[in-house]
C-alpha cells in the first residue's frame, strides 16, 4: 500500500480563549469572548518546530480539511485530494493544521453559538467579524494553543487566500512562506453583487425571522437558493457545458410545466442547495460573505504596494485561466505589489476551463507546483535555522 492510499483518521479538537474580562476587541469596535476554536491537526511536529503548515478554508469550509473522522465516515475532508500521507501537502513530512473560522458554524464561535450574556444563540447579536479578526484568532491559537513561533507555510484558496494575505501582512516574521490560490486583494463589484443576491435570498425566506430562527424551522429555502447562486460562480461555461450541456433530467422531452426539473443542470443545482442546508447555517453565510466584501487591502493601507511593505514571506501566487470570479489579473496585481517591495514572489497561472473551484478537485499541475514549492520551503527554512 502506498503512502497516498493510507487512511487518515482525525479528530476535531477545541480550544477556548478570550474569556471575560479579556475579550477580543474586534475591528468593528465590539468585543467577543469567550471564543471557541475548532481545529484539526495532521502529522507530527518536528523537533525544530519548522514543518507546520496552516491551511485556511474558504467560505463554506471548516477545520476538517482531510481524512475521515472514523473508518465508517463516508465523506473525507474538503481538501483530501491535496492533504495526506504521500500527497502534495504530505502529512508524513508536515505538521498540518486547519481551524474553523469564527463566524462559522462548524465548532468555532459564530452566530449559532450560545451568547453567555443571555443563554440564547447570538443570532444577529453576534458582532460583525472581518478577515483581520479571523486571522487574529488563528494567530492566538497557533501561538498559545500549539506553542508555535513560526509557520513554514500558510496556504488557502479563495476566501482562504485572503486570510493568507492578511497573515503575511500582520505577522511577517511568523510566516516563512505564503501560498494564496485563486484569490484577490479585494472583491470586485461583480463578486460583491453575487454575495448580496445570495444574502437577499436568505432575507426573503419567511423562516429567517430577522436571524432569530434557532429552535424553529430554519430558512432552508433561502439558504439553498443562496448556495445555488454561489455555486454557479464557482463553475464556468465550459465546465457546465461539458458536464450538462442541455441534457434533460429523467425526461424524454420538455415537461412544459413548473414541476420537476427539465434540465440536468437544474437538478444539479437543486441538489447542491438541498445538500448545503443540511451542513451550514444561514446566519454564518451572511456573516462570512460580509467579511469577504469588507476585505480590501487597498482601502486599508492606501495602496496595495503599501499593504505589503512589511511582508517578509516568500510567495507563490496561483490562479486559473478559467476563473471568472477571481480572474488572473487580480493575482497579477498582488504579484506586482509584492515585487515592488522586493518580496520573493512567483506567479503561476494554470490553464483550466473549469472555473473558480478547480483548486478543490484533483489537478496534477496544481499538485506538482504545491509539492515542489513546499519542498523548497522546507529546505530553505532549515537552511535558515542552521545559520542561526
Per-position DSSP letters for 263-297, written without gaps between them = BHHHHHHHHHHHHHTTT--HHHHHHHHHHHHH-BH
Burial grade of 173 (CB within 10 A; 0-12, 13-18, 19 or more): exposed
Strand partners, 151: 175
Which residues lie across from 296 on neighbouring strands?
Answer: 186
Nearest to 376 by CA among 349, 351, 344, 350: 344
β-strand pairing of 35-42 with 52-56: unpaired
Q: Please state, in angstroms and rounded to a whole number, the distance separating the CA atoms of residues 164 and 319.
A: 14
Instruction: Give, in order, the Cα–Cα distances in Å from 130 to each of 218, 257, 276, 300.
Output: 25, 44, 23, 12
State the catalytic residue, choosing from 108, 112, 113, 158.
Answer: 158
- Residue 369: Cβ within 10 Å count: 19
Closest CA to 354 of 363, 341, 364: 363
List per-residue pLDDT tens for the chain, 388 residues long. Answer: 345 456 789 999 999 999 999 999 999 999 999 999 999 999 999 999 999 999 999 999 999 999 999 999 989 999 999 999 999 999 999 999 999 999 999 999 999 999 999 999 999 999 999 999 999 999 999 999 999 999 999 999 999 999 999 999 999 999 999 999 999 999 999 999 999 999 999 999 999 999 999 999 999 999 999 999 999 999 999 999 999 999 999 888 999 999 999 999 999 999 999 999 999 999 999 999 999 999 999 999 999 999 999 999 999 999 999 999 999 999 999 999 999 999 999 999 999 999 999 999 999 999 999 999 999 999 999 776 554 5
Q: Which positions ≥6 away from 17 have C-beta within 8 Å? A: 33, 34, 35, 37, 140, 141, 144, 145
pLDDT at residue 251, as a whole number = 84
Instruction: Return d(Cα 347, Cα 317) in angstroms, integer.
Output: 5
Longest alpha-carbon distance in the chain = 74
57, 64, 139, 356: the active-site residue: 356
Q: Which of 323, 328, 352, 357 is catalytic?
A: 323
Domains and CATH numbers, the chain: 3-186+297-387 (3.40.50.1820), 192-287 (1.10.1740.110)
Report how far residue 3's alpha carbon sits from residue 86's, in angstroms, rounded to the nearest whole number.
5
The Cα–Cα gap between 358 and 324 comes to: 12
| Positive/negative CA dihedral, 11, 90, 377, 322 | negative
Active site residue 356: yes
- Rounded CA-CA distance 9/42 in Å is 9
The distance of Cα 151 from the centroid of its chain, to the nearest Å, equals 18
CA 35 to chain centre: 19
Note the pLDDT of residue 385: 53
- pLDDT recorded at residue 387: 45
- CA gap 118, 102 in Å, rounded: 20
Long-range contact set of residues 209-218: C-beta below 8 Å, sequence gap at least 24: 210/124, 211/111, 211/123, 211/124, 211/283, 211/286, 212/123, 212/124, 213/123, 213/282, 214/112, 214/120, 214/121, 214/123, 218/277, 218/281, 218/282
Whole-number pLDDT of residue 382:
77
Distance from C-alpha of 333 to C-alpha of 181, rounded to nearest angstrom: 14
Q: How many residues does the chain have?
A: 388
Element housing 159 (H / E): helix 159-170
Q: Report the pLDDT value the prediction gives residue 104, as an integer from 0 to 100.
A: 97
Residue 127 Cα distances to 103, 132, 349, angstroms: 9, 14, 37
Amino acid at each position: 500500500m502506498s503512502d497516498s492510499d493510507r487512511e487518515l483518521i482525525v479528530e476535531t479538537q477545541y480550544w477556548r480563549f478570550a474569556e471575560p474580562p479579556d475579550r477580543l476587541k474586534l475591528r468593528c469596535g465590539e468585543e467577543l469572548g469567550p471564543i471557541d476554536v475548532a481545529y484539526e491537526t495532521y502529522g507530527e511536529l518536528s523537533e525544530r518546530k519548522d514543518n507546520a503548515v496552516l491551511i485556511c478554508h474558504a467560505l463554506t469550509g471548516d477545520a476538517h480539511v482531510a481524512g475521515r473522522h472514523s473508518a465508517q465516515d463516508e465523506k473525507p475532508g474538503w481538501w483530501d485530494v491535496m492533504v495526506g500521507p504521500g500527497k502534495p501537502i504530505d502529512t508524513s513530512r508536515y505538521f498540518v493544521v486547519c481551524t474553523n473560522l469564527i463566524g462559522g458554524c462548524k465548532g468555532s464561535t459564530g452566530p449559532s453559538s450560545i451568547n453567555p450574556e443571555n443563554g440564547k444563540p447570538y443570532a444577529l447579536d453576534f458582532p460583525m467579524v472581518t478577515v483581520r479578526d479571523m486571522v487574529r484568532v488563528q494567530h492566538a491559537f497557533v501561538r498559545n494553543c500549539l506553542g508555535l513561533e513560526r509557520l513554514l507555510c500558510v496556504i488557502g484558496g479563495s476566501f482562504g487566500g485572503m486570510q493568507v494575505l492578511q497573515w503575511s501582512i500582520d505577522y511577517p516574521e511568523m510566516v516563512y512562506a505564503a501560498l494564496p490560490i485563486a484569490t484577490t486583494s479585494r472583491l470586485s463589484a461583480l463578486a460583491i453583487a453575487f454575495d448580496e443576491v445570495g444574502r437577499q435570498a436568505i432575507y426573503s425566506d419567511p423562516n429567517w425571522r430577522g436571524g432569530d430562527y434557532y429552535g424553529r424551522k430554519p430558512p432552508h429555502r433561502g439558504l439553498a437558493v443562496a448556495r445555488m447562486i454561489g455555486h454557479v460562480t464557482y463553475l464556468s461555461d465550459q465546465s457546465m457545458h461539458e458536464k450538462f450541456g442541455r441534457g434533460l433530467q429523467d425526461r424524454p422531452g420538455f415537461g412544459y410545466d413548473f414541476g420537476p426539473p427539465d434540465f440536468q443542470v437544474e437538478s444539479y443545482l437543486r441538489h447542491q442547495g438541498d445538500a448545503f442546508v443540511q451542513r451550514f447555517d444561514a446566519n454564518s453565510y451572511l456573516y462570512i460573505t460580509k467579511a469577504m466584501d469588507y476585505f480590501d487591502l487597498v482601502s486599508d493601507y492606501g495602496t496595495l504596494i503599501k499593504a505589503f511593505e512589511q511582508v517578509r514571506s516568500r510567495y507563490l501566487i496561483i490562479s486559473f485561466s478559467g476563473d471568472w470570479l477571481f480572474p488572473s489579473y487580480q493575482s497579477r496585481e498582488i504579484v506586482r505589489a509584492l515585487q515592488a517591495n522586493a518580496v520573493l514572489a512567483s506567479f503561476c497561472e494554470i490553464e483550466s476551463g473549469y472555473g473558480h473551484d478547480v483548486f478543490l478537485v484533483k489537478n496534477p499541475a496544481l499538485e506538482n507546483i504545491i509539492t515542489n514549492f513546499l519542498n523548497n520551503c522546507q529546505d530553505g527554512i532549515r537552511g535558515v535555522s542552521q545559520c542561526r
